[in-house]
Structure 1
Amino acid sequence: MRIPRLWGAVLLICLTCAGCDTTSNLGPLSPEELDALNKSVEASPTLQAGEKIRITVFGEDRLSGEYEIDPAGYVSLPLAGNVKASGLSKPQLEQALAKKFRSEYLRDPKVTVDVASFRPFFIFGEVARPGKYPFESGLNAITATTLAGGSTYRASRTKILIQHSGEAGFHEYSLAPNVPVLPGDLIKVPERFF
């Protein structure tokens, strides 16, 4: 079957444009989904690529220090080499490091892991100062907007769009203090309809 040239060109344009929309809206979250998101924020967070962690090996100053988790999710430590950190909680990484040090070099290592700095979040759209901002614990949709200089006069007063790390598009949230912001989030403050 032969497709006429005009329809072939239209099909090519549609397929090309379908992959271009990086701000697709996945729609609003249900109350159950918002509740699950808030519970996941309260749970022990997992470490992610781009975060800087502080590792302390008691009695071993040469092994202690701040290390960044690389884009592949690994942290490179002296004597231990590359250790998978992304996707693990702090206690899980502590156990993995203690096991690695114990099997190679130390008798009974005591290891603690703390997050020195989280991945930044990004905010754009109808805000006074769009850009990259450092993540702080307890951030929500309203405080993130405030950090970016507040909304412009054209901004929606009732909704905000957020894409959490690993999501394919933006979800719509009500602009409220119960909407958490997570490390690495993309936040879009949409224009309101007059």
Structure 2
Amino acid sequence: MMTAKHVFGTLLAALVVMLTGCSGLPSSGDMPPVSTLEPEPYEIGVGDTISIHVWRDPELSQSIVVRPDGFISMPLMGDVKAEGKEPEALASEIGTALSEYIRTPEVTVMVTSPASKEFRNRIRITGQVAQPQSVAYQPGMTVLDVVLIAGGVTDFAAEDRAVLHRQIDGKYQSFSLDLEAVLEDGDMQTNHPLQPGDVISVPRKALFRGEL
């Protein structure tokens, strides 16, 4: 005759097996490759420093940081929306507006400090790592690189249940990672190359999974 303790143990074991086999996430082996598409034209963003040069009119030329509201201030023109525009488009808009005050203005706009791009191109790692990080993307960077930058995983990390979140067609999709295989067995199958915007999360070990 089974006691209540035995019944509970049997149910707990069945639950562990079920949860282990049904993570619900696709393997990162099914993850699409890092994008090899040509980069899109650069759009000015908040925090960018841009240099505006008006030929033969140094008083109108300036170097300015795009404000948090996405605008810059120009002599004669007042506030001008810069966020979301390509440098050539902004130069054309400024030139058209200045033509009311000076004859045939020639305007060039250059992004001298692309702060917004650097922020968008960062990679994040969160959860059970020594130092959760937001790091600047570097070409060739892999999952292992970011884990090492974060100081490795903690003793409470469920390494085989790590997840890589990647933005695909404008939406984040999640893929399973096996950091235990990478770190302890040298199995590089899930040591994937990363791309800007990727997020790696390392969950904590769970008692109901039999990990503690």
TM class by shorter-chain length? Answer: 0.5 to 0.7
* Cα distance in 1 between the residues matched to 2:80 and 2:142: 34
From 52, 56, 61, the equivalent of 1:56 is 52
Alignment correspondent of 1:75? 72
The C-alpha deviation readout for 1:101-142, integer Å capped at 9, x for no partner, is 333446322312215132324723344332555x46748564
CA RMSD of aligned residues (A): 4.2
Change (3 A) 1:158 1:143: same
* Cα distance in 2 between the residues matched to 1:175 and 1:53: 36
| Max Rg structure | 2
From 164, 167, 171, the equivalent of 1:160 is 164
Alignment correspondent of 2:179? none
Map 1:8-23 onto structure 2 (within 5 A).
none
Identity rate of aligned residues, in percent? 14
Does the Cα contact within 8 Å between 1:141 and 1:160 map onto a contact in 2? no
From 62, 65, 90, the equivalent of 2:63 is 65
1:191 aligns with 2:203: yes
TM-score by length of structure 2 reads 0.52
1:85 aligns with 2:82: yes
Please, which runs of 5 or more residues in structure 2 have no aligned partner? 1-24, 176-189, 206-210
Map 1:1-194 onto structure 2 (within 5 A).
31=32, 38-39=36-37, 42-48=39-45, 50-57=46-53, 58-59=55-56, 60=58, 62-71=60-69, 73-105=70-102, 107-119=104-116, 120=119, 121=122, 123=124, 124-133=126-135, 135=136, 138=139, 142=143, 145=146, 148-153=149-154, 154=157, 155=159, 159-162=163-166, 170-172=172-174, 176-177=192-193, 179-181=194-196, 185=197, 187-191=199-203
Counterpart residue type for residue 189 of structure 1 = S
Counterpart residue type for residue 176 of structure 1 = H
* Cα distance in 2 between the residues matched to 1:65 and 1:82: 15
Counterpart residue type for residue 65 of structure 2 = Y
Change (3 A) 1:30 1:142: closer
Please, which runs of 5 or more residues in structure 1 have no aligned partner? 1-24
Does the Cα contact within 8 Å between 1:93 and 1:113 map onto a contact in 2? no
How many residues are aligned here? 157
Does the Cα contact within 8 Å between 2:50 and 2:64 map onto a contact in 1? yes
DSSP 3-state at the match of 2:192: coil
Higher helix proportion (structure 1 or 2):
2
